[in-house]
Structure 1
Amino acid sequence: MKTTLRFLSVTLVLVFVSCSSLQVSSEAANNADLKKYNFYTLAETEEGFLPNVNPTQKMQLVKAIEEQARALSTVKNNSGITGPDVLINYFVVVDTKQDLDTYTNYYGRRRWRYQITEVEVREYTQGTLIVDFIDAKTKEVIWHGSTTGVITANSIKLEQKINDAVKAIFDKYKKDQLL
């Protein structure tokens, strides 16, 4: 069972069950003026980064983040002149959770009664995508966003689910930027 769950967590990151919009939590630094940033790029990561994500899913995640960063940047191809204003760093956390349900059934007749209590244990894998926006000059986090969902075995929609999670985080950043 543990081998199956481990395989599931390694092969299926960020496949969220819910078709509704993803819930994103965010926090901006107290002194950060999110409106002053114009050029965003993905931070470089070390080899072996994200041990719970296979190379295909990492590539899909990087592609989705880079696409959203390009859409967010108001200055295009600025890295050769002054460098990026914001480095985007990301991380994925995969955890196994349990859900318990208890059912009690009563059976009986006139002179006797019988009670059955059943406990149903369901294990599931939960994935959290964390994205940090880091000021390239000061190296301080200016904005932090995350979204969490249940990972499922439906690998057909994996890329779409990753794109939805990344888009939800970037949409939240855009809303916070306007405030």
Structure 2
Amino acid sequence: MKTIKNLFLLSMTLLVASCSSLRVTSEKAYNADLQQYNFYTVADMEAGLLPNVNPTQKMQLKNAIEKQALELSTVKNNTGVTGPDVVVNYFVIIDTKQDIDTYVDYYGRRWRYQVTDVQVREYTEGTLIVDFIDAKTNKVVWHGSTTGIITPNSIKLEQKINEAVNSIFEQYKKDRQL
């Protein structure tokens, strides 16, 4: 019975953790008018700037951000005299976390016995940080980040990357309309 209870609790914990949505936070610079920006471009990342991210994931991340920046731009291919209005810069932080659960069971007929069971679960958490930088003043006008659990499955990881980028850009669109 104890084993069934522990398996049930573990499976519920994993189910809740796998279904948890991303946590998105954002901050708009004081006096920044986000509606004035029409052309967005993605900053070129230096080779060692994204530690702990393999080249395939870097490419997936850059493609997802470029796609969203292109959709956000009302002016296409503005490479003339004026250049981009906003440069989109991004960074990834990967951290290993631990989740510790403690279970206490009592059993016995005449006497009560107490058994404490501790389960430790390690998981990887990733944070994507995206900054929108005014190209003329070189100041950050909007800062957004999202945090979520990273899965080792490469197909699900690509979906998670797309979901994270979409959630940040959706938050930017909301903040832009305020």
Could you state the TM-score of these two structures normalised by the residue count of structure 2? 0.86
Is the CA contact (8 Å cut-off) linking 2:94 and 2:125 kept in structure 1? yes
**Is residue 2:146 matched to residue 1:138?**
no
Residues 74-106 of structure 1, C-alpha deviations (whole Å, 9 max, x = no match): 111112221111000000000011111111111
- Where does 1:142-161 land on structure 2 (aligned, <5 Å)? 142-161=141-160
Secondary structure of the structure 2 residue equivalent to 1:105: strand
- More off after superposition, 164-173 vs 149-158: 149-158
Secondary structure of the structure 1 residue equivalent to 2:169: helix
User: In structure 2, what residue type is equivalent to 1:105?
Assistant: D
Stretches of structure 1 that go unaligned for 5 or more consecutive residues are 1-16
Residues 39-58 of structure 1, C-alpha deviations (whole Å, 9 max, x = no match): 10001221222011111110
> What is the match of residue 74 of structure 1?
74
> What is the match of residue 5 of structure 1?
none
Residues 13-32 of structure 1, C-alpha deviations (whole Å, 9 max, x = no match): xxxx6456533110000111
* Superposition deviation, residue 152 in structure 1: 1.3
User: In structure 1, what residue type is equivalent to 2:165?
Assistant: V
Secondary structure of the structure 2 residue equivalent to 1:65: helix
CA distance in structure 1 between the aligned counterparts of 2:106 and 2:118, rounded to whole angstroms = 15
> What is the match of residue 34 of structure 1?
34
- Where does 1:98-137 land on structure 2 (aligned, <5 Å)? 98-110=98-110, 112-137=111-136
**Is residue 2:46 matched to residue 1:46?**
yes
Aligned-residue Cα RMSD (Å) equals 1.4
* Superposition deviation, residue 60 in structure 1: 0.8
Is the CA contact (8 Å cut-off) linking 2:40 and 2:70 kept in structure 1? yes
User: In structure 1, what residue type is equivalent to 2:118?
Assistant: V
Q: Percent identity?
A: 74
- More off after superposition, 101-110 vs 62-71: 101-110
User: In structure 2, what residue type is equivalent to 1:27?
Assistant: E
Stretches of structure 2 that go unaligned for 5 or more consecutive residues are 1-16
Structure (1/2) with the larger helix percentage: 2
**Is residue 2:27 matched to residue 1:61?**
no
CA distance in structure 2 between the aligned counterparts of 1:159 and 1:124, rounded to whole angstroms = 17
Secondary structure of the structure 2 residue equivalent to 1:170: helix
Q: Once superposed, which parts of structure 1, at least 4 consecutive aligned residues long, lie more than 6 Å away?
A: none
- How many residues are aligned here? 162
- More off after superposition, 22-31 vs 82-91: 22-31
Residues 132-171 of structure 1, C-alpha deviations (whole Å, 9 max, x = no match): 0001111111000111111112212222221111111101
CA distance in structure 2 between the aligned counterparts of 1:94 and 1:161, rounded to whole angstroms = 14
> What is the match of residue 167 of structure 1?
166
After superposition, the Cα gap between the structure-2 partners of 1:92 and 1:119, relative to the gap in structure 1 and judged at 3 Å, is same
User: In structure 2, what residue type is equivalent to 1:76?
Assistant: K
**Is residue 2:84 matched to residue 1:84?**
yes
